[in-house]
């Protein structure tokens, strides 16, 4: 619930005075999230993975595309794009 992956069945919780019910986008921007399972989907390319997690962090449009390109280059993943 605190990661906003699942909606609470009742009640609410606050993270830095932000509601996990009402302020999910802002909470996702402020907290890190490390799932306890393999976070890589075998059907996605490296660029698609980075795009997916960028969207979870609230990126979109040119900002998302620029971030994907920068990370692909920085991590030397172009051949897996």
Residues of the chain scoring pLDDT < 50: none
Task: Encode pLDDT of 25-37 as tens digits.
Answer: 898 888 877 767 7
Residue 53, both tokens: 């997690």
Q: What is the pLDDT of residue 51?
A: 94
Q: What is the pLDDT of residue 37?
A: 72
User: How far apart (Å, rounded) are the C-alpha atoms in residues 31 and 16?
Assistant: 10
Q: Are 42 and 66 a contacting pair, CB within 8 Å?
A: no
Q: What is the DSSP letter of 78?
A: G
**Number of CB atoms found within 10 A of residue 31's CB:** 14
Residue 19, both tokens: 């509601």
Residue 6, both tokens: 């699942």
């Amino acid at each position: 619930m605190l990661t906003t992956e699942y909606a609470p069945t009742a009640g609410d919780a606050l993270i830095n005075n932000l509601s996990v019910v009402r302020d999910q986008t802002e909470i996702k921007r402020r907290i890190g999230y490390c799932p306890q399972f393999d976070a890589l989907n075998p059907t996605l390319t490296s660029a698609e993975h980075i795009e997916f997690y960028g969207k979870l962090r609230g990126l979109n449009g040119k900002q998302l595309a620029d971030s994907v390109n920068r990370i692909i280059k920085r991590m030397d993943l172009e051949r897996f794009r």
